[in-house]
């Protein structure tokens, strides 16, 4: 319930964002896939906007503009007793968004 559909929550300590989609939950590493800058979520723009070279990503982590070569990387997510558990020891790279990447809640 803390993560309504459409919400983006930055978990700084874990270095990721929780993005709540219709399909479920994504945990996206906040590291730009271009050259590694931390990518802020911009509420005013409704998208992620990397300050370094202008990379733009949507809520699914897909690249909308700029030099990033692939979507934001993911960390595996499990739902345990109603809690979101993110394994930040394992990075999942992807070429594009697929609904199967979201963990249903």
Applying CB under 6 A, the residues found at the interface with ligand FES are 32, 34-35, 37, 50, 52-55, 66-68
> Shortest Cβ distance from residue 8 to ligand FES (Å)?
17
48 vs 75, beta carbon nearer ligand FES:
48
Structure tokens at 38: 């931390």
- Do 50 and 43 touch, CB atoms closer than 8 A? no
- Do 9 and 17 touch, CB atoms closer than 8 A? yes
> Shortest Cβ distance from residue 100 to ligand FES (Å)?
26
Sequence length of the chain is 105
Tell me which H or E stretch contains 64. strand 63-65
65 vs 79, beta carbon nearer ligand FES:
65
- Do 26 and 79 touch, CB atoms closer than 8 A? no
> Shortest Cβ distance from residue 79 to ligand FES (Å)?
30
34 vs 59, beta carbon nearer ligand FES:
34
């Amino acid at each position: 319930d803390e993560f309504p559909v459409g919400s983006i929550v930055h978990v700084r300590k874990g270095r990721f964002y929780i993005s709540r989609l219709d399909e479920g939950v994504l945990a996206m590493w906040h590291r730009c896939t271009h050259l590694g800058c931390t990518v802020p979520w911009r509420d005013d723009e409704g998208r992620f906007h990397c300050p370094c070279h202008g990379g733009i990503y949507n809520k699914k982590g897909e690249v909308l503009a700029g030099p990033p070569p692939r979507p934001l990387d993911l960390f595996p997510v499990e739902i345990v007793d109603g809690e979101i558990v993110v394994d930040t020891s394992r990075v999942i790279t992807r070429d594009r968004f697929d609904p199967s990447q979201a963990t249903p809640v």
